[in-house]
Copies of this chain bind each other. A is one copy, B any other.
Amino acid sequence: MRAMTDRPVPPPAGSGGAAEQTGVGGAAGARPTEPGGAEPATARGEQTRQLILDTAMRLFRERGYAQTTMRAVAKEAGVAVGNAYYYFSSKEHLIQEFYAETGVEHRARAASVLARETALAPRLRGVLHAGIDTVGPSHEFAAMFFKTAAEPTSPLSPFSAESSPTREASIALFRETLFGSTAKVDPELRDELPELLWLAYLGVVLYWVHDRSPDQAKTRALIDGVVPLIDKLIGLSRLRVLRPVTRDVLGLIRTLRQ
C-alpha cells in the first residue's frame, strides 16, 4: 500500500507484466464505441464486468463505500484498475447498478402486497414499506448514493436522463399501485398522480437516509402516518369545493416539470 508515487524513472518505456502475456503486435489506438462504461460485446467481457461488479458490491457492503478503494476492488477481483474503468466510467457508476438492482427487488417485494390488497391505502403503504425493506440492509452506504443523487449534474440523479429506465420502472410501480386499486381518482389527477407518488417515495427515502433510529423505526412511522393523509387528500380532491385548488396545484406542477 506504500510507495505508489515514488518513481525516479520518468517513463519506464514498456508495460509491466502480470498475467501471462507473450504476443507482440496489435493496433494501438483502438477504443470501444463508448469511452468508458461500455456494454461488453463478448462473453468473456460480460464475465469480467460481472466479476468486477460483484466484487465491488461485496466490498461496499463489507467496508462501506468511501473505505473501498478502486485499487482494492481491482485487486480483489484479480484485474487491473484500468480494467474496471473499461466497464464502469467512474466509481459512482458502480452504484448505478445497485440502484437498478434495488428497483427490481422492490418490485418483487411489492408484488405480493399488490396481489393481496385492493384498497389504495394498504397498497401504497405496502409498496413504501417494501421499498424500505429492500434498501434496509444498505442503510449506511446508501447515504453516499443519495449524496451524489442530490447533485443535479450527476448522472446518478433520479431525475437524470441516465437514470431514466430505473425511474420509469419505479413510476410504473406506483402507477400499478394506483390503477390497480379500487380508489376513485379525479380524472385530471389520474395521469399525474403516479409520478407524484414516486416523488413522495423519494421524500421517504430522503428521510430514511437521515434516519438514525434503530431499525429505521421512524421512517416506518413516517410511512404509516403519511399514507392515510395522502389517501384522504386524493379522496378530497374529488369534492366540488376543492376542484379549483386541485386545478391550481396541477397547473403548478405542470409548470414546474422540466
Contact = CB atoms under 8 A, between A and B. Distances in A.
Counted per complex, copies of this chain come to: 2
Interface stretch (A4-12, A55-63, A96-104, A190-198): A4-12
Interface stretch (A39-47, A161-169, A222-230): A222-230
A159 B210 contact: yes
A258 B213 contact: yes
Contacts of A108: none
Query: Which of A10, A147, A255 has most B Cβ within 10 Å?
Result: A147
Nearest to A228: B248
A258 B218 contact: yes
Contact of A252 (B6, B212, B221): B221
Nearest to A148: B147
A146 interface: yes
Interface in A195-246: 206-207, 209-213, 218, 221-222, 225-226, 228-229, 232, 245
13 contacts: A6-B7, A147-B148, A147-B150, A150-B206, A152-B210, A212-B258, A218-B255, A221-B256, A222-B252, A222-B256, A225-B249, A226-B252, A228-B248
Contacts of A252: 221-222, 225-226
A209 B255 contact: no
A76 interface: no
A237 to B, nearest CB: 13
B148 A152 contact: no
A226 to B, nearest CB: 7
A144 interface: yes
A151 interface: yes
A64 B226 CA distance: 39
A150 B159 contact: no
A8 B5 contact: no
A153 interface: yes
Given A5-B5, A143-B153, 17 more contacts: A6-B10, A143-B151, A146-B150, A150-B206, A152-B210, A207-B256, A212-B258, A218-B255, A221-B252, A222-B252, A225-B251, A225-B252, A225-B256, A228-B248, A229-B245, A229-B248, A229-B249
